[in-house]
Amino acid sequence: MPIAKAIILDYIGTLASPRSYNMADSMSKLHSNLTEAGFRTEKAEFLRAYQVVHEKYRLVRYGELREVTNAVWVSETLCNLGFDVDVGDERMNAALNLFFQDFIDSLELGPYAEKLLKKATETCKLGLISNFTYAPVVYASLKKLGINHYFNSIVVSQENGWRKPHPKIFADMLQRVKVKPAEAVFIGDSPKEDIKGALKAGMKTVFVHSQFYGAGDLEVSGEKPHIVAKGLQEICDQFSEIVKV
């Protein structure tokens, strides 16, 4: 039986997870940084306007699976509050970098994550697909965690334009690592984004329990991964069987 030529992984939830992260604190810092940059608003007013725009693009992101970056959300919020600003404004992007720093600092590698990456690179190409609205966060956090060098290719939805489970983001990765769908194994924790998308793309799939998704979520989704693992240790232990395609 042939061995898989590529292992493709989800990122947040599968390899790393945020610990003690508080979104409200980050939103307060975003408002403060924007105010210091010259976009002076009342905090409550800014948060209300931001929520309206966030909901508008949430429908696009989850309904149409088209990714919309945070820079669009914030620039539109500020425009709605009377400022003349576009997505390329350096002041706004500097504020976004500070906004995401707490999230980056909160990320911790899961047990056996690096062991799995090392084992995978012995026989396979390694790819990562992340649904993330601001790609610099993915690259900065991978570097901070010390695992960026393991990957042959990284695809982030903000740069690709499409979110998992849309087939185009999986096709992009397969093209980059130059393998056929049947030669790849996808490992992820989201039944709808990871398992559904990878199955439709023709890949072998491994569902792994995480702090975000468990057996109940998988059952409700109706998706049928090839393998279900309780954690990355189990994947490491069964690796020789998982990579048989």
Q: What is the pLDDT of residues 180-223, one digit of tens each?
A: 999 999 999 999 999 999 999 999 999 999 999 999 999 999 99
% of the chain exceeding 90 in pLDDT: 96
The strand pair at 16-18 and 107-109 is best described as antiparallel
Tokens 């610990």 locate to 19
pLDDT digits (tens, 9 = 90+) for 57-85: 999 999 999 999 999 999 999 999 999 99
| pLDDT above 90: residue 244 | no
Q: How many helices (H) and strands (E) does the chain have?
A: 12, 8
Q: Is the pLDDT of residue 25 over 90?
A: yes
More confident residue, 2 or 236: 236
Q: Where are the domains of the chain?
A: 6-18+109-242, 23-105
| pLDDT tens track for 164-188 | 999 999 999 999 999 999 999 999 9
Residues in the chain: 245
Q: Where are the alpha helices (DSSP H) in 156-242?
A: 157-160, 167-177, 196-200, 215-221, 232-237, 239-242
Say if residue 1's pLDDT is above 80: no
For the domain spanning 6-18+109-242, the CATH number is 3.40.50.1000
Quickly state the pLDDT bin for 3 (edges 50, 70, 90): confident
